[in-house]
Amino acid sequence: MSSPLDPAVSARLKRTPDGLVCAVAQQRGTGEVLMVAWMDDEALHRTLTTRRATYYSRSRRQLWVKGETSGHTQYVHEVRLDCDGDTLLLVVDQVGAACHTGDRTCFDATVLLADA
C-alpha cells in the first residue's frame, strides 16, 4: 500500500521494524514536553495536511487523532524532523491534558533526578 506522504519526506524517515517513527509533542511558546507517541506514514501525512496531531496506537494498531474522544486536542504549528530522521518534533497548542492519565504532560508523575 502506498502512502500519500511526500516521497522526499518519506525517504528521510528512519522507521522502527514495524514502520513507526517516534514523535515528541512540545507546547508552543513554553517548550514544555507534553508527550511521546508514534507515527506511521499515514499519521504523519494526516498531521501535515490537517494540523491535527494524528498518531499510531501500537496497542490498538490503528490511527488516532489526539483529542478525538477526550477533547484534549493538539493543534500543530510546526513539524520538524531530527538530524537522524528517526524522531519528529511537533510544536503544538495543547487543549486540556496531554497524558491519558489526565496530567498536563506525561512527564509529571515520576522525577528520577532534579536539582536540589
Bridge partner list, 90: 25, 79
**3-state SS, residue 26:** strand
Q: Provide the mean pLDDT of the chain.
A: 94
Q: What pLDDT, on the 0 to 100 scale, is given for residue 3?
A: 65
Q: What is the CATH number of domain 7-94?
A: 3.10.20.810
User: Which of 23-32, 55-64, 80-89, 107-116 has the lowest average pLDDT?
Assistant: 107-116
* Distance of alpha carbon 77 from alpha carbon 97, whole angstroms: 18
DSSP code of 59?
T
Look up the pTM and report it.
Answer: 0.92
User: Is 84 annotated among the ligand-binding residues?
Assistant: yes
Known binder of ligand: residue 86? yes
83 is in an annotated binding site: yes
Is residue 41 part of an annotated ligand binding site?
no
What percent of the chain is modeled with pLDDT above 70? Answer: 97
- Per-residue pLDDT at 33: 97
Predicted confidence (pLDDT) at residue 38 exceeds the cutoff of 70: yes
pLDDT of residue 108: 85
